[in-house]
């Protein structure tokens, strides 16, 4: 049976897991005590022979042999890490544990299928009850047949078909029909076929009301059938034997410690010897490495009679009892519906006991950003407004970068020349110029940048050759003036304190 200790570790407190070390049933001590005795008896015998019976020369030879064995033990990788670093005992055990749990999840359970039968096969007469029982018995019979093929406990319970008939999973007529079908392979699937034929007959008789209900019934049966088939294949295709042999040989190479971990006297008269430990504690602790292999040996086939093997007989009893209750006693067993306790309560709050009353004081988790404080400046929380009517100016990336970096940086600082149109120049010293494009709030360096860009664009437009070899005609003055106005709109402004006067705005034509 499965050894369950989950109630003992429901709460993790001091000593909760330490107490598990003293349990015997299902423990590592129960698995290893025989191997432990087999290891300790030869170890003690060799120790007595070395200490009492060997001569000095023989002890010298024995010392060399023991040192060789100890060195050989270190060369054999008995660690339990990834397979690239060791024979893979740890990886092997992980694979076996996954294999063990996958087999348990493949055990067929009729819970979903019995709900489908109860809700879609309708009849209140005796014929309908016989139909329910027959369908359920076919489902459970298929599980019994497959478990008899893979489980030692179930086979001991139902060694022959007579025992299956006596248990009520099969009638005599069904047994004759089952045995009349000859096949060289496992016939666990025959009751599933009987189920499909009986369900189709119930659809023709009107006990299954429509084809959708019949399709739902067949789909659920196919899932149940697939679990039976998967369980059969897990029993048929096992972990490769070579992998098991490699790990077993690597673990049992620990036998070199029988000689290599013995107490040895120093070879030279003045040489300091090791501490004489009559009981090799560290070696005995390492002996529990073999427990990894014993775990794999126990659960590689969980359908035996080990402590942690599956209780398949209990599963058979549970499945039959629950499935018959669901389709027999609970069919159309409806309770009167009425207003519940929380009909007029909003929100609903179930009651707590005194032992759990302190849980009501704990605040509910509403999200990691629920209590996060935003910026205290109210202006940062104001929504921004889009201005779709404003013109979108496209400027070269370098100009925008230089203008955003510093208002005093321009192409002139890089020695790219200072050519510009005379009517766009603004003398640096004369801040009171009457030019419509220059005023005290504008940066002359930014204006120079705009002038040079406009001059370059005009020269490129004039000198660009046409496909036929002629030079491109110069652009119209109107387009050039429009480009000037667009570029002037993006010039770098001075600080807010140096605002433009209304007269200057009117003179420059700025808004």
- For residue 30, name the pLDDT band (cuts at 50, 70, 90): confident
Q: What is the mean pLDDT of residues 328-348?
A: 80
Residue 233 has pLDDT above 70, yes or no: yes
Residue 281 has pLDDT above 90, yes or no: no
Q: What is the pLDDT of residues 445-474, one digit of tens each?
A: 554 555 555 556 555 544 444 544 444 444
Would you state the pLDDT for residue 387?
A: 53
Would you state the pLDDT for residue 499?
A: 45
- Radius of gyration of the chain measured on its C-alpha atoms: 45
Would you state the pLDDT for residue 10?
A: 77
* Closest C-alpha among 177, 216, 187 to residue 199: 216
Q: What is the pLDDT of residues 75-120, one digit of tens each?
A: 665 544 333 334 457 788 888 999 999 999 999 999 999 889 888 8
Distance of alpha carbon 288 from alpha carbon 29, whole angstroms:
9
Cβ atoms of 308 and 302 closer than 8 Å: yes
Comparing 314-318, 424-428, 475-479, the range with the smallest average pLDDT is: 424-428
Would you state the pLDDT for residue 318?
A: 94
- CB burial of 214-232 (b: ≥16 within 10 Å; e: otherwise) equals beebeebbeebbebbbbbb
Residue 421 has pLDDT above 50, yes or no: no
Q: What is the mean pLDDT of residues 425-452?
A: 46
User: Is the CA virtual torsion 131, 135, 140, 141 positive or negative?
Assistant: positive
Residue 354 has pLDDT above 60, yes or no: yes
Would you state the pLDDT for residue 451?
A: 56
- 313, two tokens: 């007989």
Would you state the pLDDT for residue 275?
A: 66
Would you state the pLDDT for residue 434?
A: 43
Following DSSP, what letter does each residue of 331-344 receive, concatenated?
Answer: TT-PPPP---TTSS
Would you state the pLDDT for residue 328?
A: 74
- 235, two tokens: 């029993």
% of the chain surpassing 90 pLDDT = 26
**Collapsed DSSP state (helix, strand, coil) of residue 457:** helix
Q: What is the pTM of this model?
A: 0.64
Of residues 191 and 2, more confidently modeled: 191
Q: What is the mean pLDDT of residues 121-148?
A: 90
Q: What is the mean pLDDT of residues 55-80?
A: 75
Cβ atoms of 120 and 203 closer than 8 Å: no
From residue 204, give the alpha-carbon distance in Å to each of 94, 201, 211.
51, 5, 10
């Amino acid at each position: 049976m499965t050894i369950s200790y989950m109630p003992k570790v429901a709460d993790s407190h001091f000593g909760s897991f330490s107490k598990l070390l003293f349990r015997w049933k299902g423990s590592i001590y129960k698995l290893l005590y025989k191997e432990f005795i087999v290891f300790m008896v030869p170890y003690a015998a060799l120790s007595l022979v070395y200490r009492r019976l060997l001569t000095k020369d023989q002890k010298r030879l024995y010392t060399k042999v023991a040192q060789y064995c100890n060195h050989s033990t270190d060369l054999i990788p008995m660690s339990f890490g990834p397979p690239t670093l060791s024979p893979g005992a740890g990886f092997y055990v992980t694979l076996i544990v996954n294999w063990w749990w996958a087999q348990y999840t493949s055990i067929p359970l009729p819970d979903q299928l019995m709900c489908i039968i109860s809700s879609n096969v309708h009849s209140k007469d005796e014929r309908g009850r016989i139909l329910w029982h027959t369908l359920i018995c076919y489902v459970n019979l298929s599980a019994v047949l497959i478990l008899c093929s893979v489980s030692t406990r179930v086979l001991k319970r139902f060694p022959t078909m007579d025992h299956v008939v006596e248990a009520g999973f099969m009638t005599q007529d069904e047994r004759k029909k089952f045995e009349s079908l000859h096949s060289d392979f496992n016939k666990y699937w025959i009751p599933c076929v009987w189920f499909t034929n009986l369900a189709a007959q119930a659809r023709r008789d009107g006990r299954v009301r429509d084809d959708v209900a019949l399709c739902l019934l067949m789909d659920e049966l196919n899932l149940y059938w697939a679990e039976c088939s998967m369980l059969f294949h897990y029993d048929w295709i096992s972990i490769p034997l070579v992998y098991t042999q490699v790990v077993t040989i690597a673990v049992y190479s620990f036998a070199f410690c029988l000689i290599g971990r013995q107490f040895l006297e120093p070879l030279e008269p003045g040489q300091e010897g090791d501490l004489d430990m009559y009981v090799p504690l560290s070696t005995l602790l390492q002996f529990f490495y073999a427990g990894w292999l014993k775990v794999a040996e126990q659960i590689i086939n969980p359908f035996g009679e080990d402590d942690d093997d599956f209780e398949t007989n209990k599963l058979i009893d549970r499945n039959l009892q629950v499935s018959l209750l669901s389709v027999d006693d609970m069919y159309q067993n409806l309770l009167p519906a009425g207003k519940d306790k929380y009909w007029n309560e909003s929100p609903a709050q179930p009651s707590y006991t005194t032992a759990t009353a302190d849980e009501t004081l704990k605040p509910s988790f509403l999200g990691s950003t629920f209590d996060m404080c935003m910026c205290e400046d109210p202006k940062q929380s104001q929504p921004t407004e889009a201005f779709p009517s404003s013109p979108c100016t496209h400027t070269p990336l370098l100009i925008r970068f230089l203008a955003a970096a510093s208002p005093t940086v321009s192409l002139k600082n890089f020695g790219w020349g200072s050519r510009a149109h005379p009517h766009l120049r603004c003398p640096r010293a004369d801040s009171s110029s009457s030019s419509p494009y220059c005023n005290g709030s504008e940066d002359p360096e930014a204006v120079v940048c705009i002038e040079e860009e406009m001059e370059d664009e005009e020269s490129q437009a004039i000198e660009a050759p046409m496909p036929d070899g002629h030079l491109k005609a110069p652009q119209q003055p109107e387009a050039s003036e429009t480009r000037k106005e667009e570029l002037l709109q993006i010039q770098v402004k001075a600080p807010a304190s140096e605002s433009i006067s209304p007269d200057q705005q009117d003179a420059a034509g700025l808004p």
